[in-house]
């Protein structure tokens, strides 16, 4: 028997996803903080799945690079520079998305930052910037994106929280509070928008290899790995796969949930 690949298998080997597997075909998705790390992986996964992605972050150069990588594969991507803490930038991002595509189906609130310190040493401005970047931004985007989704009577909102928002962490009170806030925001928005068929969920990543976790020493990495039952750190693609599921039709009876993607850190 010759070891022949089926048409769909050979398309995948060529890097092309067959049309039948483009589960986000005709969908428009905004992904915040998509210039690198987890946001970039989500944008790439969604674009592969047929979505027109709109990516935003502050670093214009990196954003354009990600956009060029995606469009070079014949996929759709619009890069919009935006600071997610700015109400004006958020409104402009949603407006330009609607001007370009006419509708908005999926919002991924992913942009985030850390500014770690023990509470006794943490400055109020370190508290404010982390809460504003990680939490207020999600409120601003949900508020702006909900209007076109309500009109369409359909939408998906995926907020990126963290295992730290569930269990806390010494030295990360501001970050943990922002991520716990994301969980409360997710559950409340899920209840508010369920009647309009807008599903709102959160993903709680564990320890994922990105710039955010780059500065951790190899000793600390070893200690963290010991805490992970699957015995490895996560990759941005692990989060992107969960986001793709939540954005797809297959998740149409799931709302108000927090899905841990953490190798079993929290069981
Ligand atoms: P990252 O590599 O540091 O990327 C953060 C992204 O957010 C960048 O694209 C950054 O772009 C953007 N961003 C930050 N501040 C922004 C602002 N004011 N306006 C617009 N964009 C902004 O981090 P990551 O690891 O991919 O993290 C992504 C999300 O996952 C975050 O919410 C993080 O808290 C969460 N998370 C990460 C881990 C992990 O282990 N890595 C674990 C749990 C949760 P610019 O700098 O260009 O603006």
Residue found under tokens 């600071």 = 83
Q: How many CA atoms lie within 13 A of 94 on its CB side?
A: 24
Distance CA 150, CA 139 (A): 16
Specify the number of domains making up the chain. Answer: 1
User: If you take atom 10 of ligand 1, which residue's CA is the nearest one?
Assistant: 33
Distance CA 137, CA 179 (A): 12
Residue 82 lies in a domain: yes
Q: Which long-range contacts (CB under 8 A, 24 or more apart) does 165-171 make?
A: 165/204, 166/204, 166/258, 166/260, 166/266, 167/266, 170/118, 171/116, 171/117, 171/118
Give me the CATH number covering residue 117: 3.40.50.720
Tell me the CA–centroid distance for residue 20 and ligand 1, in Å. 32
- DSSP H/E element including 39: helix 37-48
Residue 16 lies in a domain: no
Q: Which of 46, 127, 175, 193 is catalytic?
A: 175
Distance CA 61, CA 123 (A): 31
Residue 18 lies in a domain: no
Domain that includes residue 189, residue range: 24-254
pLDDT tens digits for range 117-142 = 999 999 999 999 999 999 999 999 99
59 lines ligand 1 (CB under 6 A): yes
Q: Is 175 a catalytic residue?
A: yes
Residue 92 lies in a domain: yes
- DSSP H/E element including 248: none
pLDDT tens digits for range 174-198 = 999 999 999 999 999 999 999 999 9
52 lines ligand 1 (CB under 6 A): no
Which residues are 201's β-sheet partners? 158
Residue 183 lies in a domain: yes
Give helix 37-48 / helix 60-71 axis angle, nearest 10°.
20
| Closest atom, ligand 1, to C-alpha of 134 | 32
Residue 4 lies in a domain: no
Residue 179 lies in a domain: yes
Tell me the CA–centroid distance for residue 211 and ligand 1, in Å. 8
Provide the whole-model pTM.
Answer: 0.95
């Amino acid at each position: 028997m010759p070891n022949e690949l089926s048409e769909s298998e050979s398309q995948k080997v060529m890097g092309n996803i067959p049309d039948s597997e483009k589960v986000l075909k005709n969908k428009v998705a905004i992904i915040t903080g998509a210039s690198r790390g987890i946001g970039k992986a989500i944008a790439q996964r969604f674009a592969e799945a047929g979505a027109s992605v709109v990516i935003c972050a502050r670093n214009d150069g990196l954003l354009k690079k990600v956009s060029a990588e995606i469009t070079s594969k014949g996929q759709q991507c619009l890069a919009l520079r935006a600071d997610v803490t700015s109400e004006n930038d958020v409104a402009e991002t949603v407006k330009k998305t609607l001007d370009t595509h006419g509708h908005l189906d999926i919002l991924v609130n992913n942009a985030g930052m850390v500014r770690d310190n023990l509470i006794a040493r943490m400055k109020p401005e370190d508290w404010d910037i982390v809460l504003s970047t990680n939490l207020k931004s999600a409120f601003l985007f949900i508020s702006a994106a909900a209007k076109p989704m309500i009109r369409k009577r359909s939408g998906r909102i995926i907020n990126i929280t963290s295992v730290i928002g569930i269990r806390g962490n010494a030295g990360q009170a501001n970050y943990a509070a922002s991520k716990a806030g994301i969980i409360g925001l997710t559950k409340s928005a899920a209840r508010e928008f369920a009647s309009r068929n807008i599903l709102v969920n959160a993903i709680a990543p564990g320890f994922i290899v990105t710039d955010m976790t780059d500065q951790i020493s190899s000793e600390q990495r070893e200690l963290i790995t010991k805490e992970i039952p699957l015995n490895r750190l996560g990759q941005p693609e692990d989060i992107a796969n969960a986001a793709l599921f939540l954005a797809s039709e297959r998740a149409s009876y799931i709302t108000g949930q927090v899905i841990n993607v953490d190798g079993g850190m929290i069981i």
